[in-house]
Structure 1
Amino acid sequence: MIAPTTALATAALVLGALAALGVYYSREVDSVEDYLLARGSADGPRTTATLVASVMGVWILLSPAEAGAVFGGLSAVLGYAVGEALPMLAYARLGPRIRELVPAGHSLTEYALARYGPAMYVFVLVVSVFYMFVFLAAELTGIASAMSFVAGVPRWQTAVLVGGVVLAYTAYGGLRASIVTDTVQTVLLVPLVLLTGVGAVAALGGPTAVHSHVVAADPTLLDPTFLTGLRFGVWVAVAILGAELVNQSWWQRVYAASDPATLRRGFHIAAVVNFLLVLVAGLFGVLARGYVDLTLDPAAAGYDGSVAFFVLLQEAFPDLLVFAVALLALLLVSSSADTLFNALASLVTADLPRVLSDPDDRTLTVAARLLTVVVAVAAVSVSLRARSVLQLFLLADLFGVATMVPLLSGLYLERVRGGGALAGGVAGLAVGVAWFPNALVRGTLTAVPGLAGLLPTPDFLVAFLGALAVSTAVTAAGVPFADRFDLDRLDRDVRRLGANDATGDGELATDGGDHQTDGGEL
């Protein structure tokens, strides 16, 4: 095993080089608009690279493998891969529509306020921040677990190092720094992940030997029609789609692309690449079952399903190569962590003009950087207490699934209004929580007097599909009774930060009377 001090020092050098690159190429950031969005600055290759790298967090080496090892083998992995491709395909259509209706926009919460009013805005803000914060904490949890397993590095040291270094260049350069580092990470990481998969199969004796070991361990692992895996694949695909559609990271990149055609092409390519990467990574978990005696109960003290990827690597490769893959994981976590740091900062900063009195550009930029620091410290703290990356993701995903249809239907349907959208989101979330099998959620609900006996048998499939179906049905039920909303208003009401527009101060203009009506629908 590599010595912990050597491992930490090497990690610091790798991350330091990445940070220097991000700072150098973002030194010309001169406005809060440039800091948050880098609007229209990304050409085709950069757009594709940042879309791929933003997805490619360290979770890609952990969660899909955990799914393959613990939750259903090949069929579960296929569902996971499809789930990661679906949001990219969805944004290939949604992105140009967002740019058309809200050309000067910054965030999905800004759109929610202008389209639905303050009540739905608060709901969407809570859901989006919660999801992205959990995503960030899960990323730091994953890399801390990997470095601890591979080199014995204390979890807190890895979390602080990664969080601190990524924070340094992201707080300085904003989205421009993230896009530059994403480009480098994509060029390096995509071939390395694929080569690692091929190399592991070769080191374990080739495809025939690998197949024999897995079948001997559990033949259902390679059955694409295995019911348990199919159930997992269906609900995890829905979960990922819902989560990503309320992820501010993608809304930022919708505006960063140079034009709609570039945007569509980038998302289409990212869908294919993400599918292949998740499929390869997930198969590591399936292969691990054939070669290693894993502890598969997440509640057990020795649970190692969440690091099945690295458990298998130790069987296939020397320690030095396993550590090299851990350094790859460092680049992966930085590619998604810088995206999330900046997305969370942009989400809040875009709303500050409604809280502060006529803030200037410098005030907004400083606020964005301070918020990035706060987010980083909080995420590091949470990551030190979490154990399963996948369990963290699923709770956040549920919120996104309940919100996606009520939120995004307003881009196309004029009669979806604030009250109906909020009712749909809340109803869907209530149904999802009632069936959600998470121990923390169930423990909290059963502690409420009289509620324990009313709760249904927990089931992930019912929780996610129920949340989606109910939120859609309740939102649709309000359509025949709602007044029309003029979608052209979104262009007039949302202005660039710091611009001298018709409102006089660059804030998001709102029609108080209309939003008052929406609030009254509640």
Structure 2
Amino acid sequence: FFLTARHSIPLRTIAWSFYAQGVGAWVIFSMPAYVVSAGIVGLVAYAVSCGLPIIIVARVGAILHRKYPDVLSLGDFVQWRFGTVPTIIVTLVMLFNMSIALCAEYTSIGNLMEFVIGGSRLPIILCVAIVTSIYTAAGGLYVSILTDVAQGVFGIALLAVMAIYVAVTYRPESLPTPLPELLGPNYWGWAAVGAMPISMTCATMFSEAPWQRIWASADERALRRGSIWGALGLMIVCFLYGFGGFLAIWAGFPSSSDDGSTAFFDLLGAGQATAPAWITIFAALSTVTMNEGCVDSIQNGIVDTLASRFFRGKSVWYPRVLVFLINVPIVFVSLKGYNVIILFLIGNLVCTICAVPLLLGLVDSLEGYVTGWSMVFGMITGFFSLVVFGFLKLGNIADGMHYIFIEAYDWPSFVLPLVFSAIGVFIAAAIEGVIRKACGFAYP
């Protein structure tokens, strides 16, 4: 129960929890930063892609939960369906993905202090890490979900106040016309239509946080409706913060960061060097509130992944200690101030390579044919499709890998591994079938 809060959370609470675990401080910084290259089309694609995966994962999770009602984590399912080696791979991918997400949250709250308020990023990061770790270690997932309601309501209330403030202070008549090319429809915006839904869905699949909400939902009705309401809220809030950045960039307001990540805060200043203190405080409170709601969810997800694999059936004090330990290296990395968009790009690509082979394990007609061997082979072919694409794109593998994993959310980077990982699974399954038939080995 500490890890899953099994069947204890009603519809309204789980809806707020689905929302709060997805929205975080990264939204306030990443959405405006993405507008700089992808424009309004990219913003819409990104916002929709933030909510859509919750609905998809909830549907997949309902199927998984019916078939394997005793699972504690996604790793449990992989162990029972595919065996030890795929479980190790999936567990590592999940830990890597969630660690990046947690690092992005700590980096975002650090950016608030460094670029907006003008202080050191270390104290606020330590404060958030310690506070969330204390109540997460004390109450586990159940307490985390209960706090999501207050965090979600408070965050939306603050956003409403800021929206009213912008409506009063923003002056459309001073905007340059026509719309600057970088903000209108462009290649990167249309690329986002293909890249972002795949990217965000696969990343959500390899985060334990939404899966935990599936185990915790009181019943399937609460899960279905709660995921829809949570997803809609997430789409709207992500769009509004990104649109605020869009308005600031369109108006040419001075930016306190080079990559446009602080554009929403620049909007509140309405072209002045600083915004009024009271609205800056509201924005900071909103950032911290969203940050805590996301951080405690990811902490729970990482702990669930580790505890269900290594401490199953043991004292609850093991995962409680883990809550504190996992934060140490992630806090250290977050102090480097890496670009949040790039952090997500790396994790999302790794998840995209592994997603389809995992999903094929849920198809009833493929049980027994899609095995651990074919799953791993599919991941390998998915990765090598990126190697080939990078080489063809830039002429050498090193530059190609840098472009794919560090530079750009290009649509082939996400479509190719999705397609070729599926092809790899079926090729491996066919080879295994031929070998089994020739040697007289039956399928398990």
TM-score, normalised by the number of residues in structure 1: 0.76
Paired residue for 2:203, among 226, 232, 243?
Answer: 243
1:308-457 equivalent positions in 2, closer than 5 A: 308-315=263-270, 317-353=275-311, 361-362=314-315, 365-412=316-363, 413-414=366-367, 415-432=369-386, 452=398
Determine the structure 2 residue equivalent to 1:52: 19
Pairwise CA distance, 1:408:
1.7
Pairwise CA distance, 1:286:
1.1
TM-superposition CA deviations, 1:125-150 (whole Å, max 9, x none): 11100000000000010011012222
1:228-307 equivalent positions in 2, closer than 5 A: 228-292=188-252, 303-307=258-262
Pairwise CA distance, 1:248:
0.7
Determine the structure 1 residue equivalent to 2:416: 466
- Between the aligned partners of 1:146 and 1:65, the Cα distance in structure 2 is 14
- Secondary structure of the residue aligned to 2:12 is helix
- Secondary structure of the residue aligned to 2:2 is helix
1:56-71 equivalent positions in 2, closer than 5 A: 56-68=23-35, 70-71=36-37
TM-superposition CA deviations, 1:212-257 (whole Å, max 9, x none): 6154561552x4x433311134212221111001111111111100
Determine the structure 2 residue equivalent to 1:25: none
Pairwise CA distance, 1:293:
5.4
Q: Which amino acid aligns with 1:377?
A: V
Whether the aligned pair in 1 keeps the contact of 2:202 and 2:348 (CA below 8 Å) is yes
1:133-282 equivalent positions in 2, closer than 5 A: 133-205=99-171, 208-209=172-173, 213=175, 215-216=177-178, 218-219=180-181, 221=183, 223=184, 225-282=185-242
- Between the aligned partners of 1:283 and 1:52, the Cα distance in structure 2 is 19
TM-superposition CA deviations, 1:449-468 (whole Å, max 9, x none): x9548879756322222221
Whether the aligned pair in 2 keeps the contact of 1:77 and 1:233 (CA below 8 Å) is no
Q: Which amino acid aligns with 1:167?
A: S
Pairwise CA distance, 1:347:
0.5
- Secondary structure of the residue aligned to 2:323 is helix
Determine the structure 1 residue equivalent to 2:89: 123
Whether the aligned pair in 2 keeps the contact of 1:398 and 1:429 (CA below 8 Å) is no
- Secondary structure of the residue aligned to 2:370 is coil
Whether the aligned pair in 1 keeps the contact of 2:32 and 2:264 (CA below 8 Å) is yes
Flag the 1:454–1:319 CA change in 2: closer, same or farther, 3 A: closer
- Between the aligned partners of 1:347 and 1:401, the Cα distance in structure 2 is 19
TM-score, normalised by the number of residues in structure 2: 0.88
- Between the aligned partners of 2:389 and 2:263, the Cα distance in structure 1 is 28
Pairwise CA distance, 1:176:
1.2
Pairwise CA distance, 1:121:
0.8
- Between the aligned partners of 2:103 and 2:390, the Cα distance in structure 1 is 20
Identity percentage of aligned residues? 26
Q: Which amino acid aligns with 1:390?
A: I
Whether the aligned pair in 2 keeps the contact of 1:434 and 1:456 (CA below 8 Å) is no
TM-superposition CA deviations, 1:356-391 (whole Å, max 9, x none): xxx7542xx111112111111121111101331111
Q: Which amino acid aligns with 1:417?
A: T
Whether the aligned pair in 1 keeps the contact of 2:387 and 2:401 (CA below 8 Å) is no
Pairwise CA distance, 1:111:
0.9
Pairwise CA distance, 1:309:
1.6
Whether the aligned pair in 2 keeps the contact of 1:416 and 1:482 (CA below 8 Å) is no
